[in-house]
Structure 1
C-alpha cells in the first residue's frame, strides 16, 4: 500500500473512532510536524508544545479532513495557525511586561544556550524573515513540501508562496554570507 493510501485508510479508521489508527497517524507525521514548527518558531520547547496542541486539535477535528487531502499538510496547517495564535499571545505578554518594567524599572538576564555557530546564524537569519516568508521557507526548503502543498497548508495563493520562498532563500543566503564574513 502506498504511503498516501495508508494515510487514507488510517484517516478513515480514525474518523470511525479508532484511537489506534490516529496514533499511527501521529507516529507517521510527528517528526515532520515538529521539524516544521521548530523552524517556524525558532524555539524547540515551544514547537514541541505546539505539536502536542496540534495533535489534540487534529483528533477533535479528524472528521473534517476530506478524502484525498494530505495529512501532513493538514497537520502543518493546524500547527501553523497554533503558532500564529501563540505568537500573538506572546506579543501581548511582552507588551504587558514592557509596560510593567517601564512603570517599575525591573530587568532580567536571559540564559544563553550553547549552539554551533552555523546553527545560530541560520536561526538568526530565519528569525529576521517575516512570519509568512519564514513559514514558506520552512515548509518548502526544510520540510520538502511542494509549493502547492505549502500554499494549501498556509492558506496562501500559490504565487505568494513561490515569491516568499524565492525572497526568503535570497535573504537567508545574504544573511549567512554576512555571518561568514564577520566570523
Structure 2
C-alpha cells in the first residue's frame, strides 16, 4: 500500500510539473509510467485486439494531455486515465466499422474447439460472455485490473452500490458456471 501511495504522489508531482510549466517531459513520464496499465485495460475490453488497443491508448493519452487541467486529484491519476480510456472504448464501440469488425470476431469465438474444452482460461472467457455487459465491465476493472470498488465506480461513472452489486452477482454466476465445468472435468477423468 505504501508503494501505491508513493506512486500516486509521484504522479501528482508530474501532473503539477506538466501543468505549471507546460512541461511535456513530465507528461511523457506520466505516459511511460501508465501506458502498460492503459493498454492492458483496453486489450481486455477489446478482447485481445492489440492494434485497436494501441490506437485507443494513443487517443487516451492525447485526450489526457488536452484535459490535464481538469484533473482534480479526486482520484489517483491512473484511475483518471482508466476513466478516459473507458470513455474512448465506449466511443469506439459507437462507430459502425469497429463494431462490425468485432461482431464477426465474436461469431468465430463461439465455435468450440478441443483446446477450449481443455483450457479453463478459455472457459472463463466464455463464461464471462454470459454475464451482463455491466457485470463483465465491473469484473474487468475490479478483478482483472485490480481497481477497488470505489475506483471502478469512478472510472465507470456508476454509483458505488451498483458496482458492488454487479461484482457480487458476476462472481456468483462465474462460480456456478465454473463449478459445473470442474464437475464435468472430474467425470472425464478415469
Q: Report TM bin, short chain.
A: 0.7 to 0.9
* Aligned equivalent of 1:66: 72
| Alpha-carbon distance between aligned partners in 2 of 1:145 and 1:157, rounded to the nearest angstrom | 15
Deviations 1:35-76 (A, max 9, x none): 222222323323232222111111111111113431111111
Q: Which residue of 2 aligns with 1:102?
A: none
The answer as to whether partners of 1:42 and 1:123 remain within 8 angstroms in 2 is no
Asked whether the 8 Å contact 2:92–2:98 carries over to 1, the reply is no
1:6 paired with 2:10, answer: yes
Aligned 1:68-147 pairs, distance under 5 A:
68-90=74-96, 94=100, 117-147=119-149
User: 3-state SS of the aligned residue for 2:147?
Assistant: coil
1:5 Cα offset (Å): 1.4
Taking the aligned partners of 2:145 and 2:131, their CA distance within structure 1 comes to 17
Relative contact order, CA 8 A, sep 6+: which one is greater? 1
Deviation at 1:128, TM superposition (A): 2.7
Match of 1:36 among 36, 41, 46: 41
CA drift of 1:133 comes to: 1.8
Consecutive unaligned residues of structure 2, counting only runs of 5 or more, are: 186-190
| 1:93 Cα offset (Å) | 5.2
**TM-score normalised over the length of structure 1:** 0.79
Q: Which residue of 2 aligns with 1:175?
A: 177
* Alpha-carbon offset, residue 131 of structure 1: 2.4
Deviations 1:72-120 (A, max 9, x none): 111111111111122222488539x99xxxxxxxxxx9699x8882332
Secondary structure of 1:38's counterpart equals: helix
Return the TM-score normalized by structure 2.
0.76
The equivalent residue for 1:27 is: 32
Which residue does 1:162 correspond to in 2? 164
